[in-house]
Chain A
Amino acid sequence: MSTKTVAGAPLRGFKSILEGKYFAWILLLPSFILVIAFIFYPLYRGLYLSFTRTVLLEGPDSTFIGLENFRQMFRDELFLLATRNTLIFMAVGLVTQLALGLAAAMLLSQKRKYIGLIRVLVVLPWFTPPVVTAYMWRFILDSNSGVLIKMLEGVGISFGPAGLWSNPELAIYAVLFVDLWSSYPFFMLFLLAAIQGIPNDMRESTSVDGASSWQHFRFVVLPLISPVIVVSSILTVIGLINSPTLVLLMTNGGPGDSTTVLPLLAFQIAFQSYDFGYSSAISVAVLAAIAGFAMVYIRFAKFGKED
């Protein structure tokens, strides 16, 4: 009998904690532990590593060297080239995804019988595994047998004897095209949701006032969805510079270093020359750029004003 009270008391205590004001914190605790252990601790270590000399081949030890890695960065021509490539990648990627995403969202917000099916199909590329996306497009754009290359040659567009992938001027745009195919649906989804949030009778009243479709778009739709455009633009930029996956799989930086972007450079320095310190410094530079965007994002998203 006595064991029952002993066992029951802490259980009752636990239950009352669970019911009390700490309810939310208890539910949050498991995810906190995981996020702190596997995101914030590694993040802190990554920041620390960027101020050290840590080359895994020389042993596991880190020596604190202050800002030396960052100084080295600005003397490193490959870093400067990668920065230039990253800026092209970001700018061209953002503009093309915005243009296609906006056009697609306008088209897919129309009422048609078959529109539901098309909306799902259009999003499929976004869920396609990057490995499949990369090799599929390498195949379709292959200079010897690629069906799209042959079709373009048929209408007089040729990429020269070396082909698209060996041309240092063109390779980055080829990767950008593939990135557009796989990433713009994300942009489109956000804009589509925003456009569908605009009441239908808005168009009816503007057409009564004699506004053309273009005027309706320019003066009614565009101002209403502009906050969403800003938010999704920033998320797209983050997507473009956060992960080197597609570049890694399609060109691995080549030909030459013409498609080396900053995240890829960081990846290569870390896992080909095992210079963890310098690689972390480059990642920190990427993070700093993203943090700038993040501030704008939170400002425009009016974060937490819902209640």
Chain B
Amino acid sequence: MAATKKKRPISYHLVNVGILSLGLFAILPILWTFYTSLRPNLSIMRYPTQISFSDLSFDAYFGVWQDTNFPTLMKNSLIVSTMTVIISLALGTLAGYALSRSKFRGRQGVLLVYLSIRFIPGVLLLIPMYIFMMNLGLLDSFTGLTLAYTTFTLPATIWLMKGFFDSLPPDLENAARIDGCSRMGAMWRISIPLVLPGLAATGVLTAITAWNDVLFALLLSSSDRTRTWPVGLKEMIGEFQLPWEALTATSMLSMLPVVIGFSLVGRKMVAGITAGSLKD
């Protein structure tokens, strides 16, 4: 034992290699895309590929920002994502709190229903939702898109928030209740401030889901007024045969908010996802 600890066995180094390979597998494609977005188009297509760092520039980014409607597309996505986060968090926090703190009849049934929503294929909901939105006059509107996103972010929000509330000790709230605080007051003044990190993580996860979606956006946002960036990018590629540098630059631009949100609360998000799903 002592000998193996001083001189590390081969397996120790093999594990290091394995871990680093996993990291590279995840990050290299993204780094390569970023590198490509900085290169002039001519050298992208040249073969054999020459790696050079002399002629890199952010020209493609300025080009995309000034000559295409991508800023508008991103603004539309931002509006829809923000609205989705607000509604999901408001409703999901209330429901998650109720499911965590109250032991009422029918609780198991409610939990089961929210869990089973995960199994409904998105495609089956697409058509009736399209018809429903058409009848409500919500096609091609931010409201319609937000409602569609909220339906599939809400169950996840409820599960995550329930998990975060579960991990709080109930004693604090009980103390507040004895001191004359109402139930709503105890929730608002004691529990919600304590789950703020969890709330932030859930919010970012919801925002990323709405920001990334293609399928619902493809159907429900048809005009320039509401079109979100994934649909816009898909159409730009189809119509204009977007050059690689512009394509990669737009990809990186659209990924920026995701990376920022992820680096802020990524760990908490990952912890919430795994904890919630293992417990039940």
Nearest-neighbour CB distance to chain A for B207, whole angstroms, equals 11
- A20-54: CB near B (< 8 Å → 1, else 0) gives 01011101101100110011011111100100000
Segment from A4-12, A89-97, A162-170, A189-197 that makes contact with B: A189-197
A24-B102, A128-B255, A135-B247 known; A147+B32 contact, CB < 8 A: yes
* B131 pairs with A270, CB closer than 8 A: no
Segment from B54-62, B64-72, B167-175, B210-218 that makes contact with A: B210-218
* A121 pairs with B23, CB closer than 8 A: yes
In the complex, B190 has a CB within 8 A of chain A: no
Nearest-neighbour CB distance to chain B for A64, whole angstroms, equals 16
Contacts of B266 in A (CB 8 A): 120, 123
* B123 pairs with A263, CB closer than 8 A: yes
Report the bound CA distance from A297 to B115 in whole Å.
Answer: 11
Report the bound CA distance from A171 to B25 in whole Å.
Answer: 21
- Using a Cβ cutoff of 8 Å, how many contacts connect chains A and B? 271
Contacts of A145 in B (CB 8 A): 44-45, 47, 49, 244
* A118 pairs with B121, CB closer than 8 A: no
Question: Which of A197, A249, A284 is close to B234, meaning CB atoms less than 8 Å apart?
Answer: A249
Report the bound CA distance from A54 to B65 in whole Å.
Answer: 43
In the complex, B241 has a CB within 8 A of chain A: no
Nearest-neighbour CB distance to chain B for A252, whole angstroms, equals 10
In the complex, B233 has a CB within 8 A of chain A: yes
In the complex, A173 has a CB within 8 A of chain B: no
Within 8 A of A (CB), among B25-75: 25-27, 29-30, 32-33, 36, 44-45, 47-49
Segment from A68-76, A77-85, A102-110 that makes contact with B: A102-110
Report the bound CA distance from A42 to B259 in whole Å.
Answer: 34
- A273-299: CB near B (< 8 Å → 1, else 0) gives 000100110011011001101100110
* A31 pairs with B15, CB closer than 8 A: no
A140-B29, A192-B274 known; A128+B258 contact, CB < 8 A: yes
* B30 pairs with A128, CB closer than 8 A: yes
Question: Which of B94, B126, B244 is close to A267, meaning CB atoms less than 8 Å apart?
Answer: B126
Judged by DSSP, the binding face of B is helix
Question: Which of A39, A123, A280, A306 is close to B127, meaning CB atoms less than 8 Å apart?
Answer: A280
Contacts of A290 in B (CB 8 A): 119-121
B92, B114, B126, B275: most-surrounded residue (chain A CB, <10 A): B126
Question: Which of B23, B110, B147, B215 is close to A38, meaning CB atoms less than 8 Å apart?
Answer: B147
Interface size class of A (residues with CB under 8 A): 35 or more
Report the bound CA distance from A110 to B45 in whole Å.
Answer: 41
Interface size on B, residues (CB 8 A): 100
* B154 pairs with A35, CB closer than 8 A: yes
Within 8 A of B (CB), among A220-257: 228, 231, 235, 238, 241-245, 248-249
Question: Which of A108, A144, A291 is close to B19, meaning CB atoms less than 8 Å apart?
Answer: A108
In the complex, B200 has a CB within 8 A of chain A: no
In the complex, B125 has a CB within 8 A of chain A: yes
A35-B155, A287-B121, A287-B124 known; A45+B94 contact, CB < 8 A: no
* A24 pairs with B107, CB closer than 8 A: yes
* B128 pairs with A46, CB closer than 8 A: yes
In the complex, B111 has a CB within 8 A of chain A: yes
* A30 pairs with B151, CB closer than 8 A: no
- B1-39: CB near A (< 8 Å → 1, else 0) gives 000000000010001101110110111011011001000
Nearest-neighbour CB distance to chain A for B172, whole angstroms, equals 18
* B11 pairs with A110, CB closer than 8 A: no
Contacts of A263 in B (CB 8 A): 121-123
* A136 pairs with B132, CB closer than 8 A: no
Contacts of B114 in A (CB 8 A): 35
In the complex, A3 has a CB within 8 A of chain B: no
Residues of B at the A interface (CB closer than 8 Å) are 11, 15-16, 18-20, 22-23, 25-27, 29-30, 32-33, 36, 44-45, 47-49, 87, 90-92, 94-95, 97-99, 101-104, 107-108, 110-129, 131-132, 147-148, 150-151, 154-155, 158, 182-184, 208, 211-212, 214-215, 218-219, 229-230, 233-234, 237, 244, 247-248, 251, 254-255, 258-259, 262-263, 266-267, 270, 273-275, 277-280
